[in-house]
Amino acid sequence: MSIVIMLALLAFILGDFAGGRGQNQNPVVGTINGVKVRYTDFVNERMRHEDMVRGAGEQAQEEAYQRAWAELVNKNAVIPGFHSMGLGLSEAEQSDMVSGIGGGYISPVIEQYFRNPETGVFDPQLLAQFVGNMTAADRATWDMVLSQAGNERLFSKYASLVSNGLNVTDLEVNMANEAENTTYNARIIFKPYSSIADSTVSISDSELKAYYNSHKEKFRREASRNMDYVVFDVMPSAADMEQGRMRADELAAQFAEAGDPATFTQLNS
């Protein structure tokens, strides 16, 4: 198994040596609202979501990738935008989303995670048991659920602001009423070109040429692509191969001492 992993690492290093990937072990995978998102940022977020759906099937694991990126977008762009607008959650409101004591409101996120498997509806007892018997490992999951519940509440507030801010003017009401109650009578004759057989029409080359010359602008097209290219044959020199071998030996030593081989392989692939 160790030999297979080492060969895979060497293939990645030598294959991308010219591009310098071996020198950047934590590349930027995207930019959100001016914030650079590193590879490890995305991996950590993805693993958090995967832990919550572990054992739920391959499709749920794939959806974890999408939710991880969406969470990073919310964290770096959407939620800061809400805060700049003055939207927020009070302590009483955050408590109410979990307990429902303040006004009977339970966050849909909380309801989703604590449904009775037999009835399919929210079960307060399941929530109480989870919170009452929470382990250190459960704390990270619970914090994530609370974060999602808070984000959902902020989205709900924003949607309410937008919907309540949309009003229909008197002019729009009158125009809609007129359009609804006005009728027209019309008689039309339709003769499609397809009803005329091609064999009954004869067009000479001179007619086609004359039509083209008088309608050249209709057939004019602007260039849609400009392309210049240069081909370089990139072949590793003896020094490159030696440097790659030394790098592989260095990674092999680091891999042997790595506490988490999977994460180490991802960061150096």
pLDDT tens by residue, 240-254: 889 988 988 888 888
Domain ranges of the chain: 1-17+243-269, 24-86, 89-165
* Radius of gyration of the chain from its Cα atoms, rounded to whole angstroms: 32
Max intra-chain CA distance, the chain: 91
Identify the band that residue 177 occupies on the pLDDT scale cut at 50, 70 and 90.
very high
Contact in structure between 110 and 145 (CB atoms under 8 Å): yes
Across the chain, what does the average pLDDT equal? 81
Quote the pLDDT of residue 208: 92
pLDDT tens by residue, 75-130: 889 889 998 989 888 888 888 888 765 456 788 888 888 888 888 888 888 888 88
Q: Residue 234: helix, strand or coil by DSSP? A: coil
Instruction: Output the pTM of the full model.
Output: 0.48
Q: What is the DSSP letter of 127?
A: H
CA gap 180, 264 in Å, rounded: 67
Kindly tell me if the per-residue pLDDT of 22 is higher than 80. Answer: no
Query: Of the ranges 20-24, 80-84, 161-165, which one carries the lowest mean pLDDT score?
Result: 20-24
